[in-house]
Amino acid sequence: MLRKFVGKIRMPALMCGFAACMALTPPAAAEDLTGKIYFILPDFTTVRFEQFDKPAFLKAAKELVPNMSVEILNSENNVQQQTSQVQAAIANDAKAIVMVAVDPMQTAGTLALAEQAGIPLICTIHACTGGPAYAYLTAPFVEIGQKQAQAAAKVIEEMNAKTGKPVRLAKIYGDPKFPFYGDQVKGIGEYLDPLIKAGKLEVVCQADALLWLPANAQTAMDQCLTKTHNGVDAIFSMNDDTGGAALAAVEAAGLKGIKLFGGYDATLAGVQRVAAGLQEMDMTVDYVAMNKLAVQLAVHAMKGDKIPADLVATTFDNGYKGGIPEVDAPNSVITKDNIQKSVVDTGLYTKEQICAKGVAADSAFCRG
């Protein structure tokens, strides 16, 4: 099991907000840096990578390393292809590589290649294990799980009080090979486990969507409905893509009124479901800030500098020689009551995009 050797070595928490911490080490443009920086994405399936991370990374690179060119590659959920892309980056004299791993458990060889070539590699979003890396840029997933489950727990309490029966929950989670899975599960358990012990919540089925693929989540939900003879009141998913797929299985079965808890990444479909009341809440990182930080880390690495202490949240134990520095990006919570502030005002989506079509068209947010 991954969690047997991958974890976090806790250090003192940051004593400032994310924006304030970044201000301590202002990312001035590194005009002296030239050459190529590679940004390697894992797949086209997960909406955020191409829709949010790619343009945000390009924008940040243009600002921070204006005299460098950026090569963006996509590994199409293929570990061997990702390894070949890293080899190509090395052959093309990359000055730095920022990589979102396809499979965190199969990155040791890739990390070794970059180290042997003397090219700094930053792991972002997905962890890298079994080898050296300059940094791991992620989000605080225990907190994410806590906030997801806290919102779910409130509704579950209300449902139980109304019916006097335990709420029947399907847990459709993600891929346990990813280290943040365990952190998120830990946070979720803090709020759901007491409800289970109190007899207010019953987990009628639980499954993992390997590689976080929606198709795997939908299949898992189909199997759950068959197993329980459609005896499900609610679904808890870890992110928007898997949650939407699980809900699609429910809708295909002709079931109504099934609650969807959890959610992460703030896909357009996820935000629309929140507006329509079909999904309890959503969460997201600040994609612009996170990718700017990824480029900033690459700049420090290319200059041979250590990561500024004010950016390091902890040490991530990736199973290799004491681990690597972890830098955490901030999260925001999205509810149907704050969509304007958390989504529209931040530039994530326009109101027209949210309301143009789909389930949100008749929501209070879109009618307002």
| pLDDT average, residue stretch 167-175 | 97
> What's at 204, amino acid-wise?
V
Residues whose CB is less than 8 angstroms from the CB of residue 208 and which lie 6 or more positions away in sequence, other chains included: 173, 174, 175, 176, 216, 220
334 strand-pairing partners? 282
pLDDT > 60? residue 24 = no
Q: How confident is the model at residue 40, as a pLDDT?
A: 98
- The separation between CA 51 and the C-alpha centre of its own chain, rounded to angstroms, equals 14
Per-residue CA distances from 348 to 53, 55, 68, 343, 353 (Å): 12, 12, 27, 5, 10
Residues whose CB is less than 8 angstroms from the CB of residue 56 and which lie 6 or more positions away in sequence, other chains included: 287, 288, 290, 291, 292
pLDDT band (50, 70, 90) for residue 272: very high
Condensed to tens digits (0 to 9), the pLDDT of residues 303-362 reads: 999 999 999 999 999 999 999 999 999 899 999 999 999 999 988 999 999 999 789 999
118 neighbors 90 (Cβ within 8 angstroms): no
DSSP H/E element including 331: strand 331-334
Condensed to tens digits (0 to 9), the pLDDT of residues 133-149 reads: 999 999 999 999 999 99
Q: How confident is the model at residue 26, as a pLDDT?
A: 43
pLDDT > 90? residue 16 = no
Residue 60, number of CB atoms within 10 A of its CB: 22
| pLDDT average, residue stretch 257-271 | 96
Domains along the chain with CATH numbers: 2-138+285-330 (3.40.50.2300), 141-284+333-367 (3.40.50.2300)
